[in-house]
């Protein structure tokens, strides 16, 4: 009994100290007018007016509760170390988003009422700049949740020969602990070792275009753990940028919404996979058989990925945009089926990890021929898979096709007239980006050929000689 009274006494002292520090109870149901009455300083009032323009009252109350809950006002400078540690662990933005907290001395320390207002204004303005960068990012990221529902698929559109499983276990495991508020480093480490996340990390380290540092299992576990913490400084960190903690900040901030999405996906797996398979099945023989798995993950900056064991989808980038979800899986699935067919045609075991250039290289002796025909082969694969999956409304293929011809001409010239492999590499990176100009060439050619010869032309070209695709 005495111990309980002592604990209560200590808590009351802490609350009293907090109240004395700011002279205002930020945990109360205050409004903007009440906040403005606490100061006659014009600079402070200007900060509050700016906050009112940018934040809802709910958001403002959240932010001030976190700032006023710091054990030591100087803890706000820890944002600098959190940012630095994130960069060093492979969760940074490679200059895409600036290091806003590199100089901790620039962060106002919330040690009294005026300075907590200044601190909040500084953080809000930083968040506003980050939001602008996210809004104009050149990769797919849905900031908001949609109102889409998963539509049913009729039984006659289901093809039993192609079996696809959707695995939500790894992300759901994270969400369960976020919702229950019981995430520990041990739990986070176990989750990071889940096969879904291991394949995700494997692909990220092998795709070649993401610069180091690259996160390993320990880094991923730390991201999961930090995002699950309710420490005030980490709550601020997650609020500042949904991409923080490798994207797990977004998963934590909207954990209940994501949980509902995953439950909806689990309940509608047959409808989702039925739609996906029905899109690509008529490009394949009737008796074609294939199995694969789609795993959900959290992988900042990478919308989807593919390994021998699975297709991966970044749930925080897509959220519940189910039309994009099905289209992207369809595209990745058809792409993997193409490689599966090519391996069969070349007597390569299915489990063999082989690159396109290795398949093409065997047909040509000249290194420049190998490189050029690899590009043509890639155009064929990417274009046909994009066509089979279905086009995004925003993708203007005609414009991409025109630019794609210029890129292809530059590649040919840089290989055969003026040896410049850096230009070739640059043209490929531009051309084969999602819905890039070289992909647009393949898409447009597929559209014309399918209209003239029917869907079977894609499979016939893949099995016999893909170069007929260009004649």
- Cβ 274 vs Cβ 153: under 8 Å: yes
Q: Which tokens go with 255?
A: 């954990």
What does DSSP say about strands 311-314 and 290-297: parallel, antiparallel, or unpaired?
A: parallel
Question: Rounded to 10 degrees, what is the CA torsion of 357, 359, 363, 364?
Answer: 10
pLDDT along the chain (471 residues), means of 10: 45 47 93 95 97 97 98 97 98 94 97 97 98 90 93 75 96 98 98 98 90 96 98 98 98 98 96 93 91 97 92 97 95 94 87 78 87 93 95 85 93 93 92 91 94 93 81 69
pLDDT at 155: 66
Distance CA 396, CA 194 (A): 39
pTM of the model: 0.91
Distance CA 75, CA 32 (A): 26
- Alpha-carbon dihedral sign for residues 136, 201, 360, 341: negative
- Cβ 430 vs Cβ 210: under 8 Å: no
pLDDT at 351: 79
Distance CA 230, CA 51 (A): 23
DSSP 356-409: HHHHHHTT-SSHHHHHHHHHHHHHHHHHHHHHHH---TT--HHHHHHHHHHHHH
Residue 55 has what DSSP assignment?
S
pLDDT at 464: 83
pLDDT at 442: 94
């Amino acid at each position: 009994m005495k111990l309980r009274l002592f604990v209560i006494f200590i808590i009351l002292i802490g609350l009293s100290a907090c109240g004395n520090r700011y002279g205002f109870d930020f945990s109360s149901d205050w409004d903007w007018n009440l906040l403005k009455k606490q100061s006659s300083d014009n600079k402070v009032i200007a900060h509050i007016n700016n906050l009112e323009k940018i934040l809802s009252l709910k958001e403002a109350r959240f932010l001030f509760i976190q700032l006023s809950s710091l054990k030591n006002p100087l803890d706000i400078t820890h944002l600098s170390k959190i940012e630095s540690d994130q960069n060093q662990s492979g969760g940074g933005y490679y200059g895409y988003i600036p290091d806003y907290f590199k100089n901790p001395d620039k962060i106002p320390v919330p040690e009294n009422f005026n300075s907590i207002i200044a601190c909040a204004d500084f953080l809000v303005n930083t968040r506003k700049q980050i939001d602008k960068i996210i809004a104009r990012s050149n990769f797919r990221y849905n900031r908001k949740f949609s109102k889409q529902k998963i539509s049913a698929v009729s039984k006659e559109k289901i093809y039993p020969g192609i079996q696809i499983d959707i695995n939500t276990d790894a992300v759901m495991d994270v969400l369960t602990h976020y919702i229950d508020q019981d995430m520990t480093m041990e739990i986070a480490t176990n989750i990071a070792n889940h096969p879904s996340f291991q394949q995700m990390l494997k692909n990220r380290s092998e795709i070649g275009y993401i610069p180091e540092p690259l996160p390993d299992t320990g880094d991923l576990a730390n991201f999961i753990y930090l995002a699950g913490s309710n420490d005030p400084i980490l709550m601020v960190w997650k609020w500042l940028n949904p991409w923080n903690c490798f994207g797990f900040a977004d998963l934590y901030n909207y954990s209940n919404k994501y949980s509902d999405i995953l439950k909806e996906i689990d309940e509608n797996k047959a409808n989702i996979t039925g739609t996906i398979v029905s899109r690509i099945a008529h490009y394949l023989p009737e008796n074609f058989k294939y199995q694969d798995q789609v795993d959900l993950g959290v992988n900042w900056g990478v919308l989807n990925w593919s390994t021998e064991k699975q297709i991966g989808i970044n749930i925080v980038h897509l959220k519940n945009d189910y039309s994009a979800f099905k289209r992207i899986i369809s595209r990745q699935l058809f792409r993997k089926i193409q490689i599966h067919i090519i391996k069969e045609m070349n007597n390569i075991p299915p489990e063999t990890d082989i690159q396109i250039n290795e398949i093409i290289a065997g047909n040509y002796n000249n290194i420049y021929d190998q490189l050029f025909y690899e590009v043509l082969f890639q155009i064929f694969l990417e274009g046909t898979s994009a066509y089979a999956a279905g086009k995004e409304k925003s993708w203007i293929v005609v414009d991409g096709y025109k630019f794609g011809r210029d890129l292809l001409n530059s590649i040919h010239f840089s290989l055969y007239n003026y040896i410049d492999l850096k230009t070739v590499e640059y043209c490929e990176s531009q051309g084969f980006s999602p819905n890039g100009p070289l992909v647009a060439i393949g898409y447009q050619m597929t559209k014309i050929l399918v209209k003239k010869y029917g869907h079977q032309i894609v499979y016939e070209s893949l099995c016999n000689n893909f170069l007929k695709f260009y004649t």
